[in-house]
A and B are shown apart, each in its own frame.
Chain A
Amino acid sequence: MPAPYEQGIHETLGDQRLQAAVYASTGRLASHRRAVVSTDALPDFEDLRTQGNLIKKHAIENLDYYLEQFEANATAHSAKVIWARDAAAAVEFVAGLAKEKGARLIVKSKSMTTEEIELNERLTHHGLDPVETDLGEFIIQLAHQRPYHIVAPALHLTRFDVAEVFTKHLGVERETEIGKQTKIARGVLRERFLAAGIGISGANFLIADSGAIVVVENEGNARLTTTAPRVHVAIAGIEKVIPRAQDLAVFLKLLGRSATGQPLTVYTSFLAGPRRSGEIDGPDEVYIVLLDSGRTRLLADREKRQSLYCIRCGACLNHCPVYRKIGGHNYPWVYSGPIGAVITPQFRGVLNEPWLPFASSLCGACAEVCPVKIDLPKLLLDLRSEVNQAKTRAGKNRLERLGFKLWAWVMRHPAIYQLSGLVASAILPDGGRWISKLPGLLNQGPARAWLSQRDLPPVSKSFHQMWRERRKGAAQ
């Protein structure tokens, strides 16, 4: 029996329509990016990446200082800062606030952090009605799915899928034209914006020297979410803090370009507390939830803490040959692609989904495009080694270790190595494919795991053999 994740991957690989949709969409995002980061379009892009990396490194290495500075400045602008150890604490806070305000309807703008803590599902259990307002998120919330991609949550769905979702859940006439589908969503959501008691957003950046949050988006739904309701709650991971407003001169140039190939996204909101005296609109109350939920644990690892630099642009997904084939839903958590493969084991334990760091060809495309220069392939290698160490501790890979010991021993003894080559060419005429058809002992554990993803190379004459024959020929 294949493992459940293998089953899922095989289904995705066999789904021609899905393969085409994912390949085309990620390809388009990648080509949009290429057009705006070329040397012609932006000569100092590489310098910006270096700066982005340095600033993030500095902020993460002095995280306590910048969080306290952020808190002090946000409080000075009358925002309230809430520290949440885990998902449950964040959800409890929001649910309690909603009860206090008598708000059942909650509008939400897109946020991976709230996906991570399954906020919608949990708020629903509290009898609340959270509504996603980003078009892609709105569609997948209706379809009861989780995001397929960090920046394009409904990337796997076609207009025909959307037509079906809208007919089923909104009770509208079947509509397959994308422009008209967008209008339907606008109409439905406009009412919700104006009726909601609370708006919940994420934050792309927390600005320490300003006590402000920055939210970037294209649709205007995040502006509405943070403007129309009387109460605004922003939920952000503690790693989102950067020192200065001026650092936006680096990060905004990197983020839009890397995500969707836009020099700037349509809306960038820099928000500091509730509306001030004289300001006509905007929320009366602002709460900022600073979420840990595993981040401090990750911080303790000197090398791997760089995965906290991530600004969630999704470029590593679009350029990953594995993501582009297996898609977003075969990753075990909301974060998919190379960055998902790196942070998921760190948040949920390396033995939770031990295959994940191995699901990469280590081609390095992700590291090449990462706007803050996270060394993703290196981190995947580190995690592989951690998985194996953990397995050893748990005694889970004895057979595989024995195999490698045997191999090492054979490699150190040339005579036996040559002999085994001869034996192999005698018993593996079809490249070993018959092993996977074997019942019993040979076809299990490590042998099956190896051969399920790989073909053995055809066995031919060894270099030793050829060399000997050549010398014989030359001597004659």
Chain B
Amino acid sequence: MTARESVLRDIRAALGREAGQAPAPAPPSRIRIPESEVDARIESLFRSLEKLAGRTYLALSPEDARNFVAEVICGEPSVASNAPILREWGIAGLPSVATGFQDREALQAACAAAAFGITSADYALADTGTLVMIASPEEARLVSLLPPVHIAVIPRARILTGLDELLSILPHPADLTSSMVLITGPSRTADIEQILVRGVHGPGEIHVIVV
């Protein structure tokens, strides 16, 4: 008997269930989506992020966003993801920004050396100040992880009220991607004396620009 068979046999014996027996109906999902206008969502997103020491900027145009990013990175070596809006808005084309990586090794080396990682985000969650990053050919995982500062640029239409709305739009994230990561503020720890320190393994600083 394999380990699989013996574990399942013991579980069924403990529960008094038969192989292949359908479960009782599951409790219904609990999804609650509040009504909220986009301006209120932006305000809530920024408030939540600032509470976590995140930086925020409301850009009036793609050009405004590009200028703001240029000011933040200030010519330091940076990596931009392959998100189409970063290219279209000229952010990936800023001097000192490397982009277009398809090769894993090259991407890792660039991210490990970069001062800034620039991405878009698939969604943002207003109530918790969260960025939703779905891994794809357009968004690699390491750009928002290895550099000490993460800059995310998102169109305002992608701001959702919260986790519940995200899970109602994407009830099956695994159909889309191998990795969906929710990022809520800068990397932090309180493992020594419960004293808060930012920037342990992930970025210690996060800038969110809503266009």
Whether the Cβ atoms of A219 and B15 lie closer than 8 Å is no
Option from A51, A64, A181, A282 in Cβ contact (under 8 Å) with B179: A282
A272 CB contacts on chain B under 8 angstroms: 173-174, 177-179
Question: With contacts A55-B26, A210-B172, A246-B171 known, is A299 near B191, CB below 8 A?
Answer: no
Among listed B69-77, B90-98, B133-141, interface-contacting one:
B133-141
A25 CB contacts on chain B under 8 angstroms: 193-194
Residue of A nearest to B196 (CB): A178
Query: Which residues of B in the span 4-45 have a Cβ within 8 Å of any Cβ on A?
Result: 4, 6-8, 10-15, 17, 19, 21-24, 26-27, 29-32
Whether the Cβ atoms of B135 and A67 lie closer than 8 Å is no
Question: With contacts A61-B24, A65-B22, A268-B182 known, is A228 near B108, CB below 8 A?
Answer: yes
Whether the Cβ atoms of B185 and A266 lie closer than 8 Å is yes
Whether the Cβ atoms of A244 and B29 lie closer than 8 Å is yes
B-contact 0/1 string along A146-174, CB 8 Å cutoff: 00000011110111001000000000000
CB of B110, distance to nearest CB on chain A (Å): 11
* Distance between Cα atoms of A62 and B19 in the complex (Å): 11
The answer, yes or no, to whether B157 is at the interface (CB within 8 Å) is: no
Residue of B nearest to A152 (CB): B191
Question: With contacts A83-B2, A270-B179 known, is A77 near B174, CB below 8 A?
Answer: yes
Whether the Cβ atoms of B191 and A136 lie closer than 8 Å is yes
Residue with the greatest number of chain B CB neighbours at <10 A, chosen from A189, A279, A297: A279
Residues of A within 8 A of B (CB): 21, 24-25, 28-29, 44, 47-48, 51, 54-55, 58, 61-68, 73, 77, 83-85, 89, 133-136, 139, 152-155, 157-159, 162, 178-179, 181-182, 185-186, 189-190, 193-194, 207, 209-212, 218-221, 223-224, 227-228, 238, 243-250, 252-253, 260, 262-276, 278-282, 290, 292, 296-297, 299-300, 305
Whether the Cβ atoms of B163 and A253 lie closer than 8 Å is yes
Whether the Cβ atoms of A269 and B193 lie closer than 8 Å is no
Whether the Cβ atoms of B192 and A220 lie closer than 8 Å is no
Whether the Cβ atoms of B11 and A299 lie closer than 8 Å is yes
CB of A153, distance to nearest CB on chain B (Å): 7
A154 CB contacts on chain B under 8 angstroms: 191-192
Whether the Cβ atoms of B177 and A66 lie closer than 8 Å is no
CB of A190, distance to nearest CB on chain B (Å): 7
Whether the Cβ atoms of B30 and A250 lie closer than 8 Å is yes
Whether the Cβ atoms of A64 and B200 lie closer than 8 Å is no
* Distance between Cα atoms of A334 and B116 in the complex (Å): 40
Whether the Cβ atoms of A64 and B11 lie closer than 8 Å is yes
B199 CB contacts on chain A under 8 angstroms: 182, 186
Instruction: List, sorted by A's number, 29 A–B pairs whose CB atoms are closer than 8 Å.
Output: A21-B193, A51-B30, A54-B27, A62-B15, A63-B15, A64-B8, A64-B19, A65-B17, A65-B22, A154-B191, A158-B193, A182-B189, A218-B189, A219-B188, A219-B200, A245-B167, A245-B173, A263-B128, A265-B184, A267-B182, A269-B180, A269-B181, A270-B179, A276-B178, A279-B136, A280-B137, A280-B141, A281-B107, A281-B135
* Distance between Cα atoms of A425 and B177 in the complex (Å): 77
* Distance between Cα atoms of A154 and B127 in the complex (Å): 31
Query: Which residues of B in the span 153-181 have a Cβ within 8 Å of any Cβ on A?
Result: 163-164, 167-168, 170-174, 177-181
Query: Which residues of B in the span 81-110 have a Cβ within 8 Å of any Cβ on A?
Result: 82, 101-104, 107-108
B181 CB contacts on chain A under 8 angstroms: 223, 267-270
Question: With contacts A266-B185, A296-B14 known, is A67 near B8, CB below 8 A?
Answer: yes
* Distance between Cα atoms of A186 and B189 in the complex (Å): 12
A85 CB contacts on chain B under 8 angstroms: 3, 6-7
A193 CB contacts on chain B under 8 angstroms: 201
* Distance between Cα atoms of A282 and B104 in the complex (Å): 9
- Contact residues of B: prevailing secondary structure: loop
Whether the Cβ atoms of A182 and B130 lie closer than 8 Å is no
* Distance between Cα atoms of A300 and B10 in the complex (Å): 9
* Distance between Cα atoms of A243 and B25 in the complex (Å): 11
Residue of B nearest to A226 (CB): B179
B170 CB contacts on chain A under 8 angstroms: 245
A190 CB contacts on chain B under 8 angstroms: 112, 201
Whether the Cβ atoms of A296 and B23 lie closer than 8 Å is no
A228 CB contacts on chain B under 8 angstroms: 108, 142
Question: With contacts A153-B191, A264-B182, A270-B181 known, is A219 near B174, CB below 8 A?
Answer: no
Whether the Cβ atoms of A267 and B202 lie closer than 8 Å is yes
* Distance between Cα atoms of A267 and B141 in the complex (Å): 12
Whether the Cβ atoms of A63 and B128 lie closer than 8 Å is no
Option from B27, B108, B174 in Cβ contact (under 8 Å) with A55: B27
Question: With contacts A63-B15, A83-B4, A139-B191 known, is A189 near B172, CB below 8 A?
Answer: no
Option from A77, A219, A248, A260 in Cβ contact (under 8 Å) with B202: A219
Question: With contacts A25-B194, A83-B3, A296-B7 known, is A249 near B177, CB below 8 A?
Answer: no
The answer, yes or no, to whether B211 is at the interface (CB within 8 Å) is: no
B173 CB contacts on chain A under 8 angstroms: 210, 212, 245, 270, 272
* Distance between Cα atoms of A252 and B164 in the complex (Å): 11
* Distance between Cα atoms of A275 and B134 in the complex (Å): 12
Option from B4, B13, B197 in Cβ contact (under 8 Å) with A178: B197
B27 CB contacts on chain A under 8 angstroms: 51, 54-55, 58
